[in-house]
Amino acid sequence: MLACLCVHVTHTIHEHLNTPTQQFMWAYFARRILRNRILLLSLLGLATAFMGWQATTLKVSYGVPRLLPDNDSTYIAYQKFKERYGREGIVYVIGIHKDPLNDLALFNAWRSLGEKINAIEGVDTLVSVANNIFYIEKDTENKQFNIRPVVTSALANEQELDSIKKHVKSLKFFEGRLYNKETGANLMFATLDSSLFNSSKRSKVVMPLLDEIANFEKEQGMKVYVSGMAYVRTVMREMIKNEMIYFVFLALLVTVIILYLFFRTLPPVLASLIVVIIGVIWSLGSLPILGYELGILTGIVPALVIVIGVPNCVYLINKYHSEYRKHGNQALALSRMIEKIGSATMLTNATTAIGFITFIFTQSEVLKEFGVVASLNIMAIFFISLFTLPVIFSYMKPPAEKTTKHLDKVWLTGVLSLFVKGVTNGRRWVYLSVILLVLAGFLGVTLIETTGNMVDDLPKGHRVLHDLKFVEENFDGIMPFEISIDGKKPNSITKISTLKKIDELQDMISAYPEFSSAISIAEGIKFMKQGFYNGNPKKYQLLNNSEKAFFKPYIKNRKDKENLFKAYIDSNKQNTRVSFFMADIGTRKMDTLLTELKPRIDSIFPSAKYNVSMTGSSIVFLKGTTYLIKNLLISLGIAIGLVAIIMALFFAVWRMVLISMATNLFPLLLTAGAMGYLDIHLKPSTIIVFSIAFGISVDYTIHFLAKYRQELKASGWDIRHSVYAALNETGVSMIYTSIILFFGFSIFMTSDFGGTKALGMLVSLTLFLSLLSNLLFLPSMLLSLERALTTKAFKEPLIEVFDEEEDIDHERLKIGKDNGANIEKQETEEKRNT
């Protein structure tokens, strides 16, 4: 419908525009570029220097990426939760598999490690069975509770260790939280200063902490497990940060190798390198200008600029060499290089940019920034290549015969002849293959699973996964899961009836193997009651109505009574929280689990008396992942719609638009099917591939159909001849470009980060399939449908991509100070003669 509407509009305004205007426009650009070479080089140099200076101010993003928009209900609820109870702590979880309470030397070493970590600037609090563990003591004289440390110093002998062990084991509050009584595994929790951690100074906290852990491992000869959401994010962010530099250099290396294999001489390689290096500098400099930081996705933009910028150079250099080989005039070759390839290259860069710019519709800040930066720099690399290459080559000697030999690739001729044979004699097999592959693709799509784990992008065997597994097996997980309870009335939370409901809720949720033991006001009351009864572990239970009166003065007289439950209850005693940790079970399983929990929670806390909601970073992660997948599908639909509009403007026949879209949606379907067969889950890091690949692959169709239309004019509307001519001529550049893009995106497959690896593998696969689709499926349809497609509107479009048939007398055109004037003068004479 969208495409048809665009075609209608196209026909309406077509009479008022004509393509010669565009031809003169690009001829004008060519003259201006070649006439003002020194000025252009100066401006480009100043702009690049400015961008380089801006790049030095680039900051790395250390905060948590925000996946949900400001107006999302889950995000709003989470923000209110943090305002009421404070931010979730930046916690590093440090674990060992052996119980220090059974080994005196290990106990003292464990305590020493805790003291050293606690002394690091930026570590707020630290607790373990040997550090800062406390108990509640009843002061009967003053009728108040006092908090006392269990361990005050290193232990001297086994008798002291036995006494401490007995005391710690009696404190039921810490069972399952600091130690596992069955396996002997122990945890140490280090809470870090969030303002310091979420800044460039985080290394001053993290590195000394990890160094102390490494020393402990070496001295004790045992494995130490490090986990926690903060730690996992730190590791993943450092991996991505390091890979950005790695990918830039790897992309440059691959570019040099491929370009040299194509051109076999250094000048084209060096000129292309200059272009992409300028593009990299601009991409880094654009981030601080836009107010963005270097993050997970923006970090791969420099490498993308190289991968996408090199095909621009190949198209332009190929045209320059082929033109010079025709007539031997360098000035005309450079002019034609700009005039004839400029429009097509601008269009292909625009369609590629569309694949990225649609991410702004996701309402995710991370994807918005990525879309804006990538699309702007893709268009920037087009202008950089268009302005830089002609000027560089104008100062070089004309290409020698050996320099243009790459145009006579024998292997390319052989490959193209296979495509021609397939289109000529094997169209039935082409259509049969397409039908079978479409069916297989749809079947594969049904096998795709939608999921998302916090660490599923890390490689198998990574230490983070191994350490996380230890924590999940012994303590159920590290992802915060919160239940927020509003009693609707002041003092409603501290009622015995409400406390019993909270205890029932805790028992119900903790019965699931995915959840840890709870921390809540109910657990705090139990801990206090145990202290009231002189540490008797059997008294670790809720108060009854008769005991409440005895407890009241002890709580009231405590000096810091206002802070006793501050983190778990508000001042009006109307709102409270119940905190759990949970395993990283994936969004799909978690969604099922939450659906099951909701009615069970509502049965304990009826909505008439309580408002209960599930929140925490685990819920935000689930909703954010689901939200991104949904919105990325929408952005893909928008990209398809926008490309359909562009196709309608350039080809002005609704049947041609449909065939163009089918040609490019076919590879996307096959890639989606491959994901199902290869068990690659649908998640933000994989679904992002489709918008990117679609924007790039549609370039092939534009180049092919533009050349096809041009050949129609030249051959007197001979469709068969035009298809073969377009196949032979554009096929060379398409194969060149595919090789560059395939190997360019393949470098991302060397990543240790799963999302980046998926980007490389799936985009490379899609582009390869797109090449086959455009060199077999598209020309086959053009030949089979023939007259139904080649209407007058297709022959005379609204906008001309390029037209190479008109020529001028090039004998008088020379490169020199007035080369632009010479070209302009010659073309003016031709117009007058016409």
Distance (Å, whole) CA 507 – CA 791: 73
Distance (Å, whole) CA 746 – CA 807: 41
Name the token pair of 685: 């890091």
Return the minimum-mean-pLDDT range out of 212-216, 356-360, 412-416, 603-607. Answer: 412-416
Closest Cα to residue 605, out of 480, 484, 481, 482?
484
Name the token pair of 40: 């252009």
Q: What is the mean pLDDT of residues 531-540?
A: 88
Reported as a pLDDT band with limits 50, 70 and 90, residue 3 is: very low
pLDDT computed for residue 321 by the predictor? 86
SS (H, E, C) 68-103: CCCCCHHHHHHHHHHHHHCCCCEEEEEEECCCHHHC
Length of the chain in residues, anyone?
A: 834
Return the minimum-mean-pLDDT range out of 96-105, 362-371, 385-394. Answer: 362-371
Mean pLDDT, rounded, of the chain: 80
Q: Does position 716 have pLDDT exceeding 70, yes or no?
A: yes
Distance (Å, whole) CA 813 – CA 827: 11
Q: What is the mean pLDDT of residues 553-566?
A: 61
The position carrying tokens 């393509």 is: 19
pLDDT computed for residue 200 by the predictor? 67
Closest Cα to residue 170, out of 531, 581, 510?
531
Chain segment 131-147, per-residue pLDDT in tens: 999 988 888 877 888 88
Q: Does position 646 have pLDDT exceeding 60, yes or no?
A: yes
Reported as a pLDDT band with limits 50, 70 and 90, residue 692 is: confident
Of all helices (H) and strands (E), which one includes residue 653? none
Distance (Å, whole) CA 669 – CA 671: 5
Reported as a pLDDT band with limits 50, 70 and 90, residue 551 is: confident
Helix, strand, coil in percent for the chain, rounding step 5: 70, 10, 25
Reported as a pLDDT band with limits 50, 70 and 90, residue 282 is: very high
- Check: pTM over 0.95? Answer yes or no: no
**How distant is the alpha carbon of residue 628 from its chain centre?**
11
DSSP 138: E
One-letter amino acid at 16 equals H
One-letter amino acid at 209 equals L
Distance (Å, whole) CA 605 – CA 602: 5
Reported as a pLDDT band with limits 50, 70 and 90, residue 809 is: very low
Chain segment 166-189, per-residue pLDDT in tens: 999 999 899 888 999 889 999 999
Q: Does position 16 have pLDDT exceeding 90, yes or no?
A: no
Start-end of H helices in 608-718: 617-651, 654-677, 684-714
The position carrying tokens 């140490």 is: 188
Higher pLDDT, 608 or 635: 608
Reported as a pLDDT band with limits 50, 70 and 90, residue 624 is: confident
β-bridge mates for residue 138, sequence order: 145
Q: How far apart are the first and last CA of the chain?
A: 43
Chain segment 73-113, per-residue pLDDT in tens: 778 888 888 878 766 667 889 999 999 999 999 999 999 99
Q: Does position 742 have pLDDT exceeding 90, yes or no?
A: no
pLDDT computed for residue 106 by the predictor? 94
User: DSSP letters of 151-197?
Assistant: --S---SHHHHHHHHHHHHH-GGGBTTTB-TTT--EEEEEEE-HHHH
Under 8 Å between Cβ of 126 and 205: no
Start-end of H helices in 358-495: 365-394, 410-425, 427-446, 463-475
Name the token pair of 293: 């930081």
510-541 exposure pattern, b = at least 16 Cβ within 10 A, e = fewer? eeeebbbbbbbbbbbbbbbbbbbeebeeeebe
Under 8 Å between Cβ of 444 and 675: yes
Closest Cα to residue 636, out of 436, 235, 330, 367?
367
Sign of the torsion formed by the C-alpha atoms of 547, 552, 558 and 560: positive
Under 8 Å between Cβ of 348 and 278: no
What's the Cα-to-Cα distance from 363 to each of 472, 529, 627, rounded to whole Å? 33, 49, 9
DSSP 400: P
If phi over 0 gives left and psi between -120 and 50 gives alpha, with beta otherwise, what is residue 63? Answer: beta
Under 8 Å between Cβ of 312 and 345: yes
Distance (Å, whole) CA 366 – CA 464: 24
Q: For residue 84, what are the contacts with CB-CB under 8 A and spacing of at least 6?
A: 570, 575
3-state secondary structure of 614: strand
